[in-house]
């Protein structure tokens, strides 16, 4: 690549400024503000705040409600990540084998990606509607009376299904391009060395997809943690009641519905730390086993 | 070890593109066959059909007298060496070699013995723990060979295995492949577009052009008696001189230009006349014997290549250019006139229409 030299020292900083400003104003400042307010008990109407030390954190961690939400978030993240990766991989492997009309299949499978999360939630909600939802009607044939927004497990199931459905396309695109990046002759060499296509997939194709898979794993966990906010919001209609919510949604509920800004800030600080640890663990542990070609 | 039989094998791709047009070859046990031809002649397709990587449109392929048209590549008892080596990048060299054996349920001890043996033969023993990306091109090539050897297959299939190596390494590996094949005695089919590689490796050459066999024969047979103008120009470097000639009052003369006279043994009105560069001799102050080829041409360029030199010379009156091999001591100045001759036995006559060799 050609190396560009700037004649004046201020030019590169000037060019970087917009990005740095965005990072500063929209990420660092709010994060710092959250950390600060997590140590204060805020008056709900903004008349004043009292420094309370770690009380907000202690209250948060010891509340049974928070534990319940954390457990649900863990289960939710696991299912969303696992299912959306597994289904997308299966679709990508099958689409990779299709020769005739391949681009049509691929376009159709990628379409969902263009749908915004709240819209996906809304479509999901219609699919799971108590009166007209086809999925509810379908499972009713097997004797399962789904009650979204009423039954805890039914709501959780719907949330997971909609979240998975929304995330499959992006995983599909990455897996497909990953598959197409695997050398044709390596696959042919494998077909001479190994008769079973299933075994060939797990011993050659899958390890070679590992870099893509690792990247997607991080993307998907982040998605399940944070980007499912819109879907959760539409499904529980901002009326949590007994419904399952994720940790991120709880931050919003406690802060803006419960007017507990301090407690909500403490929760978001915990989330920040959690994500930080998660990222380090992922890179340290998983990357070591991943082969980058 | 096995024979391979191809019986009128055809390959037609979607859109009626006929890549291989009814090819039949009988390959003997232990024979080294080289499929050679320009790119797009169908040689790789043919090899891949033997390997089972391409479907056979019509015709039959038998390996060790077993019809393999619908047999899975893994069950054909063949091993293939690919142009870009196709090593498994996530496996160590040891596992690259062992992979095909493990999948066939071979015992660990036997796998280990075979891998060690192959590593010893190919001198890759010290790299067994490395990943392919930590190897040089030549070492990767050896690993690819090793992967074929450990299988102890009925046949080796080579798909231009040396074309990614530099010139020096290519010559070295060429010699090694030949030595290895001789010592193992495994039937081999080798695809290349390099006529020199083809000549040096083959027991028998199969020259392919546009999906059809132009000629099958030992390298010397093909070189000495090319069956067509295509083979004549493809095998040998520099290529054989091919001149369009027509019958005149005294034997044959050039169709365009002047300065050639040749005998006309077949009594036809026109030919393509072929003469290898090394069969043209400079006549100094002597007369050309009656009935021999006589050429008068003007030197354009003298091209020394070390052990020998090549003279490029043109006929008068807009005639074609010819190449003459001369000794490296020759000093022919550009612009000087050469008187050349050749033994009639070394003249090749081809039909001007279809390019086929005329005999008798």
| Cβ separation A194–B103 shorter than 8 A | yes
Locate A245 and state its tokens.
């919510």
Q: Where are the alpha helices (DSSP H) in chain A?
A: 10-22, 29-37, 55-62, 64-97, 102-110, 117-127, 134-140, 152-180, 184-193, 197-200, 206-222, 229-236, 247-252, 261-281, 287-289
Residue A290 confidence (pLDDT) above 80: no
Name the pLDDT band for A82 (thresholds 50, 70, 90).
very high
A188, closest residue in chain B (CA to CA): B53
| Cβ separation B88–A186 shorter than 8 A | yes
Tell me the residue ranges of DSSP E strands in B133-255.
Answer: 155-159, 187-192, 204-209, 212-217, 241-247, 252-254
Domain spans of chain A, in order of start: 50-289
Residue A188 sits at the chain B interface (C-beta within 8 Å): yes
Q: Which residue, B31, B37, B26, is CA-closest to B4?
A: B26
| Cβ separation A194–B99 shorter than 8 A | yes
**Rounded to whole angstroms, how far apart are CA atoms B260 and B257?**
9
Average pLDDT over residues A116-132: 78
pLDDT tens-place string over residues B213-224? 999 999 999 999
Average pLDDT over residues A15-21: 92
Give the right CATH number for B241-350 from 3.10.100.10, 1.10.3080.10, 2.40.50.140, 1.10.600.10.
2.40.50.140
Q: What is each CA distance from A162 to A41, A79, A107, A217, B283, in whole angstroms?
A: 37, 12, 20, 18, 91
A291, closest residue in chain B (CA to CA): B90
| Cβ separation A185–B133 shorter than 8 A | no
pLDDT tens-place string over residues B311-347? 999 998 888 999 999 998 888 889 999 999 998 899 9
Interface of A with B in 99-138 (CB under 8 A): none
Residue A184 confidence (pLDDT) above 60: yes
**Rounded to whole angstroms, how far apart are CA atoms A169 and B40?**
39
Q: Which residues neighbour A123 within 8 Å (Cβ) at sequence distance 6 or greater?
A: A115, A162
Q: Is B287 exposed, middle or buried (0-12, 13-18, 19+ CB in 10 A)?
A: exposed
> What's the pLDDT score for residue B157?
96
Selected residue with higher pLDDT from A98 and B200: B200
* Rg (alpha carbons) of chain B, rounded to whole number: 25
Cβ atoms of residues B271 and B358 within 8 Å: yes
Looking up tokens 């319940």 gives A68
Residue A175 confidence (pLDDT) above 80: yes
Residue A79 confidence (pLDDT) above 90: yes
What is the architecture, at CATH level 2, of domain B4-234? 3-Layer(aba) Sandwich (3.40)
Compute CA B191 distance to the chain's CA centroid, rounded to the nearest angstrom: 8
Average pLDDT over residues B50-77: 93
With H, G, I as helix, E, B as strand and everything else as coil, classify residue B229. Answer: helix
Residue A293 confidence (pLDDT) above 60: no
First to last CA, chain A: 21
B contacts of A212 (beta carbons < 8 Å): none
Q: Which of B80, B84, B87 is closest, CB to CB, to A192?
A: B80
Average pLDDT over residues A46-66: 81
Beta bridge partners of A85: none
pLDDT tens-place string over residues A221-274? 888 888 888 888 888 876 667 778 888 888 888 888 777 788 888 888 888 888
> What's the pLDDT score for residue B129?
93
Residue A206 sits at the chain B interface (C-beta within 8 Å): no
pLDDT exceeding 90 applies to what percent of chain A? 18
Cβ atoms of residues B315 and B258 within 8 Å: yes
With H, G, I as helix, E, B as strand and everything else as coil, classify residue A92. Answer: helix
| Cβ separation B74–A194 shorter than 8 A | yes
pLDDT tens-place string over residues B34-53? 999 999 899 999 999 999 99
- DSSP string of B209-226, one letter each residue: ETTEEEEEE-HHHHHHS-
| Cβ separation A193–B82 shorter than 8 A | no
With H, G, I as helix, E, B as strand and everything else as coil, classify residue B73. Answer: helix
Average pLDDT, chain A: 83
pLDDT tens-place string over residues A133-165? 888 888 888 878 777 777 888 888 888 988 898
Q: Is B55 exposed, middle or buried (0-12, 13-18, 19+ CB in 10 A)?
A: exposed
Q: If residue B323 lies in a helix (H) or strand (E), which one and from where to where? A: strand B321-327
What is the architecture, at CATH level 2, of domain A50-289? Orthogonal Bundle (1.10)
| Cβ separation B84–A193 shorter than 8 A | no
> What's the pLDDT score for residue A289?
61
Shortest Cα–Cα distance, A282 to chain B (Å) = 20
| Cβ separation A186–B89 shorter than 8 A | yes
Shortest Cα–Cα distance, B330 to chain A (Å) = 49
Handedness of CA B286, B289, B295, B301 (dihedral sign): negative
Name the pLDDT band for A112 (thresholds 50, 70, 90).
confident
Q: Which residue, B238, B243, B231, B241, is CA-closest to B308?
A: B238
Mutation for A interface: B103, B140, B150, B156, most A CBs within 10 A = B103
Q: Which of A188, A193, A293 is closest, CB to CB, to B89?
A: A293
| Cβ separation A293–B78 shorter than 8 A | no
**Rounded to whole angstroms, how far apart are CA atoms B289 and B320?**
24
Cβ atoms of residues B201 and B177 within 8 Å: yes
Domain spans of chain B, in order of start: 4-234, 241-350
Average pLDDT over residues A207-229: 87
């Amino acid at each position: 690549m050609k190396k560009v030299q700037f004649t004046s020292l201020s030019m590169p900083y000037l060019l970087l400024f917009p990005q740095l400003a965005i990072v500063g104003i929209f990420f660092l400042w709010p994060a710092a503000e959250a950390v600060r307010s997590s140590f204060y008990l805020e008056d709900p109407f903004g008349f004043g705040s009292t420094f309370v030390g770690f009380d907000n954190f202690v209250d948060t961690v010891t509340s049974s409600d928070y534990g319940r939400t954390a457990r649900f978030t863990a289960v939710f993240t696991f299912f969303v990540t696992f299912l959306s990766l597994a289904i997308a991989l299966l679709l990508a492997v099958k689409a990779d084998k299709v020769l005739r009309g391949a681009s049509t299949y691929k376009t159709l499978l990628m379409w969902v990606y263009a749908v915004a999360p709240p819209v996906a939630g809304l479509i999901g909600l219609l699919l799971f509607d108590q009166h007209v939802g086809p999925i509810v009607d379908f499972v009713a044939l097997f004797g399962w009376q789904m009650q979204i927004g009423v039954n805890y497990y039914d709501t959780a199931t719907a949330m997971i299904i909609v979240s998975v459905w929304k995330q499959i396309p992006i995983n599909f695109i990455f897996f497909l391009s990953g598959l197409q990046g695997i050398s044709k002759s390596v696959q042919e060499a494998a077909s001479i060395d190994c008769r079973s296509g299933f075994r060939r997939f797990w011993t050659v194709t899958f390890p070679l997809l590992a870099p893509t898979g690792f990247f997607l794993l991080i993307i998907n966990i982040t998605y399940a943690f944070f980007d499912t906010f819109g879907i959760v919001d539409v499904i529980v209609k901002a009326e949590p009641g007994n419904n399952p919510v994720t940790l991120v949604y709880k931050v919003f509920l406690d802060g803006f519905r419960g007017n507990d800004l301090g407690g909500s800030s403490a929760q978001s600080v915990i989330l920040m730390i959690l994500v930080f640890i998660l990222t380090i663990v992922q890179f340290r542990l998983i990357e070591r086993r991943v082969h980058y070609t | 070890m096995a024979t391979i039989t191809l019986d009128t094998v055809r390959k037609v791709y979607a859109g009626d593109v006929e890549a291989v047009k009814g090819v039949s070859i009988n390959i003997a046990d232990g024979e080294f066959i080289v499929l050679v031809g320009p790119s797009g002649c169908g040689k790789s397709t043919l090899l891949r059909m033997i390997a089972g990587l391409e479907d056979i449109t019509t015709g039959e392929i038998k390996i060790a007298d077993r019809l393999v048209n619908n047999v899975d590549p893994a069950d054909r008892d063949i091993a293939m060496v690919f142009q870009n080596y196709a090593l498994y990048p996530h496996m160590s060299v040891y596992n690259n070699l062992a992979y095909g054996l493990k999948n066939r349920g071979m015992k660990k001890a036997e796998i280990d013995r075979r891998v060690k043996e192959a590593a010893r033969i190919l001198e890759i023993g010290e790299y067994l723990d490395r990943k392919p990306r930590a190897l040089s091109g030549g070492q990767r090539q050896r690993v690819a060979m090793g992967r074929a050897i450990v299988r102890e297959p009925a046949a080796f299939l080579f798909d231009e295995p040396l074309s990614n190596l530099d010139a020096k390494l290519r010559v070295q590996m060429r010699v090694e492949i030949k030595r290895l094949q001789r010592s193992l005695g495994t039937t081999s089919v080798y695809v290349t577009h390099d006529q020199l590689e083809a000549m040096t490796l083959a027991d028998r050459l199969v020259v392919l052009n546009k999906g059809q066999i132009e000629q099958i024969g030992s390298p010397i047979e093909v070189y000495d008696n090319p069956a067509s103008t295509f083979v004549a120009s493809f095998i040998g470097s520099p290529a054989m001189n091919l001149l369009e000639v027509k019958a005149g009052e005294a034997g044959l003369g050039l169709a365009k230009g002047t300065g050639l006279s040749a005998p006309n043994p077949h009594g036809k009105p026109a030919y393509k006349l072929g003469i290898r560069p090394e069969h043209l001799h400079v006549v100094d102050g002597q007369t050309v014997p009656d009935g021999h080829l006589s050429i008068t041409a003007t030197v354009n360029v003298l091209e020394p290549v070390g052990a020998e030199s090549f003279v490029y010379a043109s006929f008068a009156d807009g005639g074609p250019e010819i190449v003459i091999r001369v000794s490296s001591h020759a000093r022919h100045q550009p612009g000087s006139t050469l008187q050349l001759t050749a033994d009639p036995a070394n003249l090749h006559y081809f039909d001007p229409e279809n390019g086929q060799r005329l005999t008798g």
